[in-house]
Amino acid sequence: MNGMFKFRVSNAKLLRDMVAAISILVDEATFNVTPEGLGLRAMDPSRVAMVDFEWPKTVFEDFICTEPTKMCINLGELLKLIRRTVKDEDIELSMDEKTGKLQVKITGKYVRSFTMPLLEASEEEVPTPKIPFNVRAKAATDGLQGAIEEAGLVSDHVRIEADSEKLVLQAAGDIMGATITFQKGSTVLLDLEVKEPSKATFSLNYLSEIMKAASATSDIVTLEFSTDMPIRLDFHQAIGGKLAYYLAPRIESA
């Protein structure tokens, strides 16, 4: 077994929400634990979406890591264990050197300690997609989430379009359609920078899952996209660190 690690978060809810946000894309997640912090980059099985997560060690109450290690765990199982945690509970993850298992210690009104297996880490290094973004929009997470839900009422995919004035979500189902417009400078669309007008179509299933899960961790999201290129949704983290998703565009029939 290589290096050991131990880290503690004083607000268990933070960890719970983050694990939930990652688990929408991957069941088995391989985290990189380094002396600088915790990170993960992973794709869903269909390779349509990717999550890019980073928590520097400043997010943690305590953070000990002697050498870079991979920590692969089943997120569903971990989520089960920490689902009942609340805000003022304290949670500590560590590797038990003797058994090679992950120890999850939750301290609240009482102390509970779980062990769970560490899985074989995946060797795949997921690179960061290199995309020349032409649109950059800053939005309130809850407002955008609402709009995505509404578009989901009529279709399973949505076209996101932007020009210098506005951001438009256009959903066309078999029988129904929806157009949702955000004017620049409104309470939902806080900022909009457009190098050139762009549009691309994305899966509403993924978008709504992502918005739902990530909104628990963030109030502001930055969307970046270009015509027929992947979109990047960067959820601003007040406590520091990064939670961003990439989503591939739908192939439009010619």
- Provide the binding-site residues for other proteins, judged by CB under 8 A: 43, 45-50, 127, 129, 203, 228-230, 246, 248-251, 253-254
CB 141 to other proteins: min, Å: 22
The nearest distance, CB 250 to other proteins, in angstroms, is 6
Which pairing describes strands 198-203 and 5-9: parallel, antiparallel, or unpaired? unpaired
Strand order in the sheet with 242-247: 69-74, 28-34, 37-43, 49-56, 242-247, 231-235, 220-225, 135-140, 189-194
Q: Could you tell me the smallest distance in angstroms from the CB atom of residue 51 to other proteins? A: 11
Residue 60 or 246 with smaller CB distance to other proteins: 246
- Residue number, 6 or 250, with CB nearest to other proteins: 250
Shortest spacing between CB 2 and other proteins, in angstroms: 18
- Three-class secondary structure of residue 130 per DSSP: coil
Task: Give the residue with the Cβ less far from other proteins, 47 or 109.
Answer: 47
Closer to other proteins at the Cβ: 129 or 177?
A: 129
Give the Cα-Cα-Cα angle 244, 224, 220 (nearest 5 degrees).
60
* Interatomic CA distance for residues 223 and 136, integer angstroms: 6
Q: How far is the CB of 252 from other proteins (least distance, A)?
A: 8
The residue (of 7 and 225) whose beta carbon lies closer to other proteins is 225
Q: Measured between alpha carbons, how far is 82 from 17 in angstroms, rounded to an integer?
A: 10
Q: Where are the alpha helices (DSSP H) in 98-232?
A: 141-151, 204-215
CA distance 159 to 179: 10
